[in-house]
Amino acid sequence: MPDVEITIIGAGVVGLAIARELSAYGDVLVIEQDISPGRGVSSRSSEVIHAGIYFPSHFLKTRLCVQGNPLLYEFCRRWQVPHRRIGKVIVAATSEEAASLEKLDALARDNGVTGLRLIDRFELKTLEPHVNGICALASPDTGIIDSHQLVKRLEALAIDNGARILCRTALVGLDQIRQGVACHVRQQGSSYRFTSRIVINAAGLSSDAVAAMAGIDIDAAGYRVHRVKGEYFRVGSRSASRINGLVYPSPEKDLTGLGIHVTKDLAGGMKLGPNAFYVDHLDYSVDPDHRHAFFENIRELLPFLTPDDLEPDMAGIRPKTQAKGAPAKDFIIAHEFGRGMPGLVNLIGIESPGLTACLSIGKLVAGMLIGADMIKGRRGTG
Ligand SMILES: Cc1cc2nc3c(=O)[nH]c(=O)nc-3n(C[C@H](O)[C@H](O)[C@H](O)COP(=O)(O)OP(=O)(O)OC[C@H]3O[C@@H](n4cnc5c(N)ncnc54)[C@H](O)[C@@H]3O)c2cc1C
């Protein structure tokens, strides 16, 4: 018998949502290399509950976002996670961008996004009196969430269901064995090995390294993770009070990012960002010299801003499987049955909208394991 039934590598919002879901079916152990959960990619996002507008309809990330949006609102209501459905406008500044918004509207409807409306400049002025544009696509179901409280709540619910979460514990090796997977871990200077029937790799920026530990050729499999940094600049409260909801420009063509946009937080604060550029190292500093580029990017949309309104704030790093210059890539969520590794599930490239989709990802992973006859029978859950 393996020592553990289900092991999850990584206590970010995705690993914890899976832990919460799977702990209704069996005994779950989460191992996290950091000092506490939710300090990776999940701690450095825009905290937006997306509607599922941008990506092709056949992408898994689109389906998971569209399903995850109402699940997350319902979860927040039920478990008192601070959030607000403040809505978003995607604004066209030129007639060319207006035409691209019509295409985006059609795509989003195909994706199953509801409530969208193309609005003219007058209606845009009533929603956002200080935003400049000739028309916009309004998305009432886009909102904001306190992602740190979400992490705390998912952790508490998983623990209530019996899951154990071991922090300061890093996975350093994986071997396939007859009854499952052998996990080699390092914990505060000591190393040991345990066996697990099922292993879920939800290691965010290191998910490709974890897949490589299992002997997968990450380049051949398309699993290599590229790090794409996104910086934010904060805007003072005088300017922040002029904006009501989330304000986005028409999206970038390759969807590396969604274009520098306005994000509001639950306290009414306002940030601009994130930009998007490929990096080699995990460095979360914000380059103050990027202030000018941010200002130039957003000045047409927000004509009341001056460069002095912008202060360096925070940065996050996206785990993308999309190489520089390549087209947008989908989430990879794969049960590695076909590679002769039953019980190993890899989640790779879980960038935005991974926060929005965390609950639907949890359900998808549970469904995969039920379908493969590896877990059965819920035993009740919070
Ligand atoms: C700039 C930016 C903005 C974003 N904005 C949004 C947004 O507005 N809306 C949205 O829906 N999504 C957004 N996202 C995406 C979202 O934040 C991520 O999809 C989500 O947080 C990913 O969660 P995760 O659990 O997969 O990764 P993480 O939170 O990184 O969790 C992985 C965990 O695994 C641990 N780990 C790694 N290797 C090991 C190991 N060997 N052993 C043990 N533990 C290990 C790490 O320490 C980490 O805690 C944004 C992302 C970025 C970077």
Dist. CA 15 → ligand 1 center (Å) = 9
Report d(CA 355, CA 357) in Å as an integer.
5
Report d(CA 73, CA 256) in Å as an integer.
26
Dist. CA 110 → ligand 1 center (Å) = 28
Mean pLDDT of 286-309: 94
Residues with CB under 6 A from ligand 1: 9-15, 31-34, 39-42, 44-48, 50, 170-171, 202-206, 210, 230, 274, 316-318, 350-356
Closest CA to 293 of 322, 328, 259: 259
Query: pLDDT tens digit string along 315-359?
Result: 999 999 999 999 999 999 999 999 999 999 999 999 999 999 999
Domain boundaries, the chain: 1-83+142-225+321-382, 88-140+227-318
Are 1-83+142-225+321-382 and 88-140+227-318 the same fold in CATH? no
Three-state secondary-structure class, residue 173: strand
Residue type, 308: D
Query: pLDDT tens digit string along 156-180?
Result: 999 999 999 999 999 999 999 888 9
| Angle at the Cα of 232 from the Cα atoms of 227 and 237, rounded to 5 degrees | 165
Place of tokens 């010299």: 289
Mean pLDDT of 86-110: 94
pLDDT score for 109: 95
pTM: 0.97
The per-type count for the chain, helices as H runs and strands as E runs, is 10, 20
CATH class of 88-140+227-318: alpha beta
CATH, domain 1-83+142-225+321-382, list 3.40.50.300, 3.30.1340.10, 3.30.360.10, 3.50.50.60: 3.50.50.60
Phi, psi of 18 (to 5 degrees): -70, -40
For atom 51 of ligand 1, the residue with the nearest CA is 45
Report d(CA 135, CA 120) in Å as an integer.
4
Closest CA to 207 of 344, 317, 319: 319
Express as a percent the part of the chain with pLDDT over 90.
Answer: 91
Report d(CA 323, CA 34) in Å as an integer.
27
For atom 21 of ligand 1, the residue with the nearest CA is 42
